[in-house]
Amino acid sequence: MNKSLLKEVILEQKNIIDDIDIGISRESLSQIEKYLKLPHSIIVSGIRRSGKSTLMSQIIKKFYGKNAVNYLNFEDERLINFELADFNKLYELFIELFGEKKIFFFDEIQNVQNWEAFVRRMQDRKCKFFITGSNASLLSKELGTKLTGRSVTVELFPFSFKEFLSFKGYKFVRNNLLLTQERGEIKKYFNEYIRKGSMPEYLKYKDTIVLKKVYEDILYRDIVARYEIKEIKILRELSLYLLSNVGNLFSYNKLKSFFKLGSMNTIKSYIGYLEDSFLFFTVKGFSSSLKKQMVSPQKIYCIDNGLINTIAFRFSKDKGKFLENLVFGELKRRGKEVYYYKTKNNLEVDFLIKEGIKIDTLIQVTQTLSGNKVREREIKALVLAMDELKLKKGLILTEDEEEEIKVKNKTITVIPVYKWLLI
C-alpha cells in the first residue's frame, strides 16, 4: 500500500467522519455504552447502509470526542490493495498525523484478510477497537480465531418504529396511545413504515435508487466478487424469488428443481451468502425432535419491507405479509430465538419464541380478524398449538384491532402491531 495514498485517505476520511450528519440517536448506543469499560473489541454488524458508520460517529462524539480516536473506512476503493502488513504503516501514520491514540474505529474491516491479527496484537497493548462489518460469516470466522473471548457483537438493524418516529420528528410519549389525535398520527406514520421500510438513507433521500444500489452491492460486491460466483443469473433469480415469497415456506430440494439445478449445494450456498449479508433470514419449524426440525421446510424473511416493495417481482399486495415480515424483523431486533410452528393436524402458527429451553410465546400475525373464516382459522391454530405446547397465553398481532379472547382456560391477547412495536 502506497504510504502517500494511505495518508491522503486518512485525512480525507477524518474530515468526512468529523462532519457527518449523526442523525437521530440510535437505540444501540445504550447497549454499546455498557461495553465501553470492557477491554473487548466491539463489533457492529448489519446490512449495508443500515447506519453503521453513522453509529460509529455517534459513539465517537458521545463518548470520546473526534480528536481522541483513529478512524478508517476500508470500503474506500483506494484501499483495495490494503493488506495485513499495511497496518503497521497505518498505525505509524496515525501517530504522525494525530499523535498516539489508543482507540481505533474501523469500518467494513472484513475487506482485509487476517485483520484480526493486528487487532489482537494491539489489544495486548491496551488499545480499544470499534469495528463494523456487513458479512456475518466472515466476521464470526475471524472472531472465532484470534479474538475468541476478546470481542462482543452488536447487530445493527435499520430503524425500529420508535427510531422511525424520531426520524420523522415525532416525539413518542406512552400516554399518546390513549389520545385519539395522537394515536391517529402514530398510525399515519405506521402505514408509511410498513411500506417504505426503515433503511435510514432511503428515508432521508426518498429515492428508490438508494435501495436498488444496496441490493446490487450485496449481490455483486458482497457475494459475486467475494465468493467468485459463476452462476450469477441463478443467484439473481433466487434472490428475486425469495423477495417475492417472504413469509412463505421453501425447501432446498424444491428450489433445486424449480431452478433446474443438479445439486442442492448451490441453492444452500447462495441462500447462506444472502443470509450472511443480512438481506434474508431463514426460520425453521419448531419440533421436539431435532432431526425433524433440521429437515422441515423453512420460512424466508427479508431485513426490510422497503426492499421488498422496491425490488420484488409481483410480491403479494396482502398487507398481512408486510406486517408479518415487520414483526419478524422486530423479534430479531429484540434478540429473540424464533421458529414457526405446525400443529399435529398441520395448522400453522407464524412465530414460536423460545427463551433458553423454555417455549415463551406463540404469535399469530394477520391484517384483520374480521370475517368468520379468518377469525376461526387464526384462533383455532393458536389454541391447538397452545394445547400441544401447554401454554395458557397467546398473542395475535393485527393492523388495528384490539381485544382479549378467552378460550377454555386460555387467554389470547389481540393488539395492533404498531402498539406492540412501541412496547
Q: Break the chain into its structural domains and give their ranges.
A: 3-155, 161-196, 317-423
pLDDT at 315: 59
List of residues 6+ apart from 272 with CB closer than 8 A: 137
Burial classification of residue 169, based on how many CB atoms lie within 10 Å of its CB (0-12 exposed, 13-18 middle, 19 or more buried)? exposed
Query: What pLDDT sits at residue 52?
Result: 94
What is the model's pLDDT at position 316?
A: 61
CA 179 to CA 176: how far, in whole Å? 5
For residue 317, what pLDDT is reported? Answer: 66
What is the Cα 395 distance to its own chain's centre?
A: 23
Q: What is the pLDDT of residue 175?
A: 85
Q: 159: alpha, beta or left, given left = phi > 0 and alpha = psi -120 to 50?
A: beta
Three-state secondary structure call for residue 124: coil
Q: Could you read off the pLDDT of 61-91 as tens digits, one per residue?
A: 999 998 999 999 999 999 999 999 999 999 9
pLDDT at 398: 98
The radius of gyration computed from the CA coordinates of the chain, to the nearest angstrom, equals 23
Q: What is the pTM of this model?
A: 0.95
Q: What is the pLDDT of residue 38?
A: 95
Chain length of the chain: 423
pLDDT score for 13: 96
Give the end-to-end CA distance of the chain in Å, rounded to a whole number. 50
Q: Tell me, what's the pLDDT at 221?
A: 92
Secondary structure, 3-state, 43-108: EEECCCCCCHHHHHHHHHHHHHCCCCCEEEECCCHHHCCCCCCHHHHHHHHHHHHHCCCCEEEEEC
Superfamily of domain 3-155: P-loop containing nucleotide triphosphate hydrolases (3.40.50.300)
Q: Which residues of the chain fall short of a pLDDT of 70? A: 141, 144, 314-317
List, in sequence order, every beta strand (DSSP E) within 168-297: 249-250, 280-283
- 3-class DSSP state of 347: coil
Amino acid making up residue 408: K
Q: E strands of 151-279, at which residues?
A: 151-155, 249-250
Q: Show the cell assigned to 404.
A: 382479549
3-state secondary structure 269-330: HHHHHHHHCCCEEEECECCCCHHHHHHCCEEEEECCHHHHHHHCCCCCCCHHHHHHHHHHHH
pLDDT attached to residue 350 = 98
